[in-house]
Structure 1
Amino acid sequence: MIFLKPGKINTSFPLKRGFTAFFAVLLIVSCTQNNVKQDNSLKKYFEENQLTGSFALLNNGTGDFTVYNLARYRDSAYLPASTFKIVNSLIGLQTGIISSDSMVIPWDGVQRPVPEWNKDLNMYQAFRVSAVPYYQEVARRTGSEKMQYWLDSLHYGAGKKDTLFKIHSAIDTFWLDNTLKITPDENLGLVKKLYFNELPFFKLYQEKVKHAMLFEDNANYKLAYKTGWGATEKQHALGWIVGWIEENRHPYFFVLNVESADPHYDMSTVRLKMLKDILKQLGFFEGKM
């Protein structure tokens, strides 16, 4: 199994292309079967929602993994959908396309099925309501060359074959149209690096994105995440939720990846409910972990 581990990198300047290979080495570390627990008791949460998928939880303190459906977690790649907003936000901030998380992009006047999108939004708001139009405009302003540079620097979408992804579809849809794919393992590794401010972006910008991801903060725990919802090449509904839960200042990183053959399956609430049900079974939310 592979995942991203903490490492010291200089975030005060953009990575050189020649540095990409070295950075990629920092991203990958082997994980023996001794610290992997395959928990098939979690299968019930997928079955009761008529979904297939995988779940993984990394205990940062011990390196222990709890995994359901290890093969899917490690080996299968899917469009990132709106989890790409993590990367899109970081690139936008680093390049100055997004001047701050309060930068407003005016609504284009097109009525869309999500009411929260039909108004002027700043980055923080757009991230939290997962406003696709806002981030499509960010991608258009960024352009293919800058976007490609940062995807190369992150080794984003390279997968196990270690082949750099090249943007070959529209700049404002490539993370939605199945040309870009990532594994659940890669998605978990990304947020782990983000948590420790170890991605190649200024610390301030990583903190801004983490702030946007923090949805629950109370005396017992902090829960930060980003959701995603899209359609696979087979037109199956695909859902993501990736992030971390922190108790007693100790982070645990998670990724949930779910799929339904029904293209009209509503992923809007099921992802978070499944995540919380699983985390509750594993002992979270009481401040005791």
Structure 2
Amino acid sequence: MKNFIGVLLMGVLLNACSPNNVQVNNELGKYFDSAGVKGSFALFNNGTGDFTIFNLNRYKDSAFSPAATFNIVQSLVALETGVVADEHMVIQLDTAVTMETAFKKAETPYFQEVSRRMGKDTLQFWLDSLSYGNHQIGKSIDSFWLNNTLKVTADEQLGLVKRLFFNQLPFQKRSHEIVRKMMLQESNANYQLSYTDGITVLENGKQLAWIAGWIEENKHPYFFVLNMEGVSNSPISQPSKELLRKILMNQGFFEGKR
């Protein structure tokens, strides 16, 4: 995907907008510190164009394996090519699993099988078409998004989910809609929270957690991406979700007042 904040900042310069549209919020670092991790966070208010970022350099310049967040791309491609008919299509693993279940639970074996069925040429075509990360597949068709071959920045992740929300990716509207439906995690009178998350292991042996998606309040979408690096021997999935919730609460979400 194109560098999202780079395009945004270029727009700020060309249109002589206030640089306050991009706010580096170091206060958010306290949530990472209290969790004993490092990382980055970004929130984009689509209505106003305001961008709140913690750890700007890591956000825009550091690339990592996308882990299960790559299931967004895999699902779109699988639906578009007919490899997967819809979110209810079952693949028999140890048990029968649908794409929707595999997506929500980040069940890697399902998407590994989908990847094998799509094949390298198809996946390479779409990685190139989307300009996704470094475009690299390498030799492992069923693990390249997990083993530090394919890498993507947090900025690119945010650009991907924003375009997904607005049907702006080069896929049919139906494919966008199915993936958005699978991403919905919470829905009530105050907000709708949609995201996908993933865990991988970096070359340094530490765990990396991603969460990318959006929160809607009063029909206004706000797009976010969390990137969190923790120690090698401690669970990181649930702490990353707790960290996301604390940050979103800090930004005034969950009460339907945004």
Same structural fold, with TM-score higher than 0.5 when normalized by the shorter chain: yes
Q: Normalising by structure 2, report the TM-score.
A: 0.94
Q: In structure 1, what is the equivalent of residue 16 of structure 2?
A: none
Letter in 2 for 1:199: L
- Is 1:154 the counterpart of 2:130? The answer is yes
Query: Which is further off, 207-216 or 262-271?
Result: 262-271
Residue 188 of structure 1: aligned partner:
158
- Please give the per-residue CA displacement for 1:139-168, whole angstroms capped at 9, x wherever unaligned: 00000000101111100014xxxxxx2321
- Report the counterpart of residue 4 of structure 2 in structure 1: 3
Contact 1:169 1:179 in 2 (8 A): no
Quote the residue 2:247 is aligned against: 278
Aligned match of 1:199:
169
**Aligned mate of 1:269, from 225, 230, 238:** 238
2:139 maps to which of 169, 172, 189: 169
Q: Distance in 2 between matches of 1:94 and 1:213?
A: 18
CA distance in 2, matches of 1:128, 1:167: 24
Q: Which amino acid aligns with 2:57?
A: A
Partner of 1:287: 256
After TM superposition, the score normalised by the length of structure 1 is 0.84
Distance in 1 between the 2:150 and 2:7 partners?
A: 20
Residue 131 of structure 1 pairs with residue 115 of structure 2: no
Q: Which residue of 2 is the match for residue 57 of structure 1?
A: 43
Indicate the SS of the match to 2:52. Answer: strand
Distance, in Å, in 1 between the alignment partners of 2:133 and 2:56 is 19
More helix by share: 2
| Shift, 1:31, TM fit | 5.3
SS at match of 1:84: helix
User: CA-to-partner distance for each residue in 1:39-59, whole Å, 9 max, x for gaps?
Assistant: 111111101110000000000
Aligned partner of 1:112 in structure 2 is: none
Q: Distance in 1 between matches of 2:233 and 2:163?
A: 34
Q: Which amino acid aligns with 2:39?
A: G
Q: How far 1:194 sits from its partner (Å)?
A: 0.1
Counterparts of 1:206-221 in structure 2 under 5 Å? 206-221=176-191
Aligned length: 250
Superposed, which structure 2 residues align to 1:102-117 within 5 Å? Answer: 102-107=88-93, 109=94
AA partner of residue 55 (structure 2): N
Give the % identical residues: 51
CA distance in 2, matches of 1:31, 1:42: 26
* Residues 1:223 and 2:193 aligned together: yes
The one-letter amino acid of 1:51's match is V
Deviation at 1:241, TM superposition (A): 0.4
Q: Deviations over 1:115-174 (max 9, x none)?
A: xxxx2111111101110000000000000000101111100014xxxxxx2321210000
Q: Secondary structure at the match of 2:30?
A: helix
Amino acid across the alignment from 1:148:
Q
Would you say 1:70 and 2:56 are equivalent positions?
yes
User: Deviations 1:61-117 (Å, cap 9, x if unpaired)?
Assistant: 11111111011001110100000000010011001010111100001x3xxxxxxxx
The whole-number CA distance in structure 2 between the counterparts of 1:31 and 1:39 is 21
1:31–1:53 CA distance, 2 compared to 1 (3 A): farther
Q: Which residue of 1 aligns with 2:15?
A: none
1:269 match: secondary structure: helix
Is 1:258 the counterpart of 2:208? The answer is: no
Distance (Å, rounded) in 2 between the aligned partners of 1:94 and 1:265: 38
Match of residue 215, structure 2, among 242, 245, 253: 245
Aligned residue identity for 2:114: V
- Distance, in Å, in 2 between the alignment partners of 1:253 and 1:166 is 26
The 1:167–1:2 alpha-carbon spacing in structure 2 relative to 1, beyond 3 Å, is closer
Corresponding residue for residue 84 of structure 2? 98
| Gapped regions of structure 2 (runs ≥ 5) | 13-18
Distance 2:257 2:237 in 1: 29
Which consecutive residues of structure 1, in runs of 5 or more, have no partner in the other structure?
A: 5-26, 110-118, 159-164
> Could you tell me whether the CA contact under 8 Å between 1:38 and 1:67 is conserved in 2?
yes
